[in-house]
Structure 1
C-alpha cells in the first residue's frame, strides 16, 4: 500500500511527516506548539519575568528550531497576558547578513579563507549584531511600521511618552549606531523617530549660527564704515575664520568619531557621512561622556546594552531573550564544525551569558558539545 493510499484509508488529508523543517510544519504549528514539549522544556524556557540563559545541543533535525518557535510563541502569549512585564525577543538565527559585512572588511586574499575570516570574529561582533537586531525592532515598534514582523511583539506601537529626556536621547543615539532597517532611508527614519519622541535639535546648530553671525557682523562693519580697503588686509578673513572655528572643530571631532564607529562595528552597514551628520544633530554637551562603539572592546557595547535595557524597562519589558539558532547554516560556515566553533565560542562568555535581564537561548549542533567537553577549566 502506498503512503497516499494509507493516508486516504484513514481519512488523513496530508502527510503529517512530509515537512522536515519546523518553520513550515503546519502540524507542529497548529497541534503541537502549545502541547508537546521537550523533556527539559522548563529549564530551557525558564521564567519570562527573569530571563536566563540556556544551552541546548542537538543533532540536525532533532527539533532545535521547533524549540525556538515554541519559545517565541509562549513568550508571545506571556506578553499578551502581561503587558507591563513583557519580554523583548531578539531572533538571532540569520547570521548571513552580519557575516557578509564582516567578511567585506578583509582583503580579497583573506576572504577566500573562511577560517582566517572567522578567526577575527570576537564577542563584540556578536553584541553589535544583537544590538542591531534589537534596536531596529525597537525603532520599528516605536514608529509603528506596519510591514515589520517581530516575534512575540504585540500589534500596537510602543508608547514613547513614558520615556524621560535622557532615555529619548539614548534611543536616538542607539538608532544612529545600530538601526539597520532597509525599509526606509536611514536619515528620514531617524528624523521620523526624533519627531515621534518630541526631541528638538535646533540647539545643535549653535556653531553654524555663530559662524553666520560673525560673518554678517564683519561684512556689515565693512559696509557701514566704508572700509572696503579692509578687504585688502588679512583681518576680516581672520575674524570670519574665527567665527567658523567652533563649527569646523565639531565637524572634525564627529567625523573622527563617525570613522571610529564605522571601523569598529564590523558586522553592520555604516557610512561615515550619515554617522557624522546624525551625531552633530545632538545639542552640545549631550553626548559628553556617553558610550559609543569606537573601540574593539566589549565595555562600550555593554554600556549600550544597558541603555537599551533601561529604555525597554520603562516601556514595560522585564528583560530581553535572544534566540540563537541555525549556526551551521551560514554560507561561510557551511556545516563545518571548526568554523562553527570559531563563530560561537566568543559568545560563550560568562559576562554576556549572565548579564542581568538578558537570556540567551543557544540552540547548537551536537558537534559543538563534543568540542566543548574537550575544553579545559580556563575556557
Structure 2
C-alpha cells in the first residue's frame, strides 16, 4: 500500500508526521504553538530590538524562526534575513564580527535591489548620494561574489516571494549581467574610473555601512531589518560542539553597539547549551533573552493541532486513531519517552507508524503492538545518538538504575574508585545520570546516582517490555511531579531528589486501573 493510501485510511489527506524539520513543513503556521514570549520576539518593526531565544535541540527554535519569517511576509514592512549558513575559510577562533557583517551586507544589498526591481518607482525615493552609495556598495561587496554565495544570499531573503527572486535566479551563471542591469536602473554612472571602488561612502566601518543601508531601507518602505540567526550548532565548523558554537556567534553577541543599532533587530535562536557560555560575556541587562521549555499540555496541544491540520479538523487526538489495550493516555507515554522534546514526540510517532505499516498497512487503527515496538525502536535509536556502544555496554553491566561509586567499584567493575569516578564524570557530562542524594555508607554517607535519561534507562534493560520497564523502573513523584527513575522492583520506598519527600510504589501493574485513576497526578494534563 502506498503511504498516501495508508494515511487516507487513518483519516488524513497526507502524513502529519512526515518531518521533524520546521524548514520542511509547509503547514507550520496552522499548528505552531506560540510561546508566551513570542510577541516579544517578533517585537515592534517600527522600533526593532535584538533578542535571544535559548532552547534544547528539537525544542522549536527553527519553528520560531520560521514563524518570524511568516509574520514578516504578512507585515511586509521589514527586510527579513535568515542567517543560518556559516561557511568561513578561517579557523573559528579567528572569526570576527567583520566576517559576519561582510556576509550580512551582501544579503542586505541584494534585498534592497530585489525591492527596487519589484517596485521600481521606489528608486525615486532615493537621492543621488543614496544611489551612488548603493552603486559603490555593489562594486565592493558583489563585484567578486561567487555563484554559490550569491544563490545563498538570495535564499536568505526570507520575506520575498519566489516570483520576486526569479529576477536573480535567471542570472545565475552570469551574475555580473544581472547586477549591471540592476545598477543601470539606479541611474548612476557605471563606467570604470580610476577611483578606488571603496570611495568616501565606504571609508567607514561595516557598522557605518549598515547605518547607511538602514537609511536607504527606510526610504523604500521598510521600517527595519530583522536578522535571524539560527542553526549555529549545525554548522560544519562547529562540529556539534557547544563551545565552538558559542565561539562562532560570540563576536556578534558581545557587540552591544551592533545589537542596539537603530533600525536593526538581531534575533538569535540558540541551543540552550550555549547559555552557560553566554552567561560569561552576555549583557542580559541590555539584550532581552528567553528560554523555551515545553510542558505536557503544550506538547499534547501541538500533536492535536498537527492532526487537525491534516484531517480537515476531524481528528484532534492521537488516541482517536489507536487501538490501545492499556488505560494510560497514549499521549502521556509518548511525551514521557520524548522527554518534553517536540522533535522526539514526532520521531516516536514516526516509528510507531512505521511499525504499523510493517504489521498491517491496511489497518484503520494503530495497534498496541505497533505502539510498544515503535517506542522501543525509538529508545534504541535515541540512546545510540547520546552514547556510543561501549558506554552502553558499561551501563548495562550495572543491572539497575540506582547506584553508588562503592557499588560500581566493588560489585560491578571490580576496579578502583578513582576509575569509577572518571566514569561518573563522563556520564554526568553526557547528561545521562544525576546525583539523587546520599545514602548510608560504612563510615560516612556516600553519593547516590541514578540514570536520568529514560531512553538510556530502557536500553539498560533490553529484555523488559515497555510495560515491564515502566512498572519496575519509573514513577512520578506524587508530591512534586518529578520523574523518578528508581529500582522500584527492589524497594517500594524512595526519596525524591527534587522535593526530598518519600515516595512509595504501590506495586500496581502498568496495565491496571491505578494508572488510569492517577493519570492526572502521573502526567499532569
Instruction: Tell me the TM-score range normalised by the shorter chain.
Output: 0.5 to 0.7
TM-score with structure 1 length normalisation?
Answer: 0.61
Deviation at 1:168, TM superposition (A): 0.4
**Which residue of 125, 129, 135 maps to 2:109?**
135
Gap change, CA 1:354 and 1:158, over 3 Å in 2: farther
Show the 5 A alignment for 1:90-105: 90-96=81-87, 99=88, 102-103=89-90
Deviation at 1:337, TM superposition (A): 1.1
Deviation at 1:37, TM superposition (A): 0.9
Gap change, CA 1:20 and 1:310, over 3 Å in 2: same
Aligned equivalent of 2:239: 334
Asked if structure 2 preserves the Cα contact closer than 8 Å seen for 1:91 and 1:323, the reply is yes
CA distance in 1, matches of 2:250, 2:257: 13
Which 10-residue stretch deviates more, 331-340 or 354-363? 331-340
Asked if structure 2 preserves the Cα contact closer than 8 Å seen for 1:87 and 1:320, the reply is yes
Aligned equivalent of 1:166: 129
Aligned equivalent of 1:16: 16
Deviation at 1:340, TM superposition (A): 0.6
Matched pairs, number: 256
Asked if structure 1 preserves the Cα contact closer than 8 Å seen for 2:224 and 2:264, the reply is yes
Name the SS for the 1:290 alignment partner. helix
Provide structure 1 residue ranges, at least 5 long, that are not aligned to the other structure. 80-85, 104-116, 145-155, 206-249, 255-278, 281-286, 293-298
Gap change, CA 1:78 and 1:158, over 3 Å in 2: farther
Deviation at 1:191, TM superposition (A): 2.6
Name the SS for the 2:239 alignment partner. coil
Which 10-residue stretch deviates more, 358-367 or 335-344? 335-344
**Which residue of 178, 182, 185 maps to 1:193?**
182
Aligned equivalent of 1:41: 38
Gap change, CA 1:63 and 1:377, over 3 Å in 2: closer
CA distance in 1, matches of 2:54, 2:64: 11
Name the SS for the 2:223 alignment partner. strand
Provide structure 2 residue ranges, at least 5 long, that are not aligned to the other structure. 152-171, 286-525
Higher relative contact order (CA 8 A, sep 6+): 1
Question: Greater Rg, structure 1 or structure 2?
Answer: 2
Aligned equivalent of 1:224: none
Deviation at 1:76, TM superposition (A): 1.1
Aligned equivalent of 1:55: 52
Aligned equivalent of 1:151: none
Aligned equivalent of 2:202: 291
**Which residue of 277, 286, 289 maps to 1:371?**
277
Asked if structure 2 preserves the Cα contact closer than 8 Å seen for 1:139 and 1:175, the reply is no
Offset from partner CA, 1:63-113 (integer Å, 9 cap, x none): 11110110011111111xxxxxx11111101223xx2xx33xxxxxxxxxx
**Which residue of 266, 282, 286 maps to 1:360?**
266
Asked if structure 2 preserves the Cα contact closer than 8 Å seen for 1:92 and 1:322, the reply is yes
What RMSD in Å do the two structures reach over aligned CA positions? 2.9
Offset from partner CA, 1:26-82 (integer Å, 9 cap, x none): 4424x225xx31221111111122111110001111111110110011111111xxx
Which 10-residue stretch deviates more, 128-137 or 319-328? 128-137
The reply on whether 1:320 has 2:225 as its aligned counterpart is yes
CA distance in 2, matches of 1:378, 1:39: 19
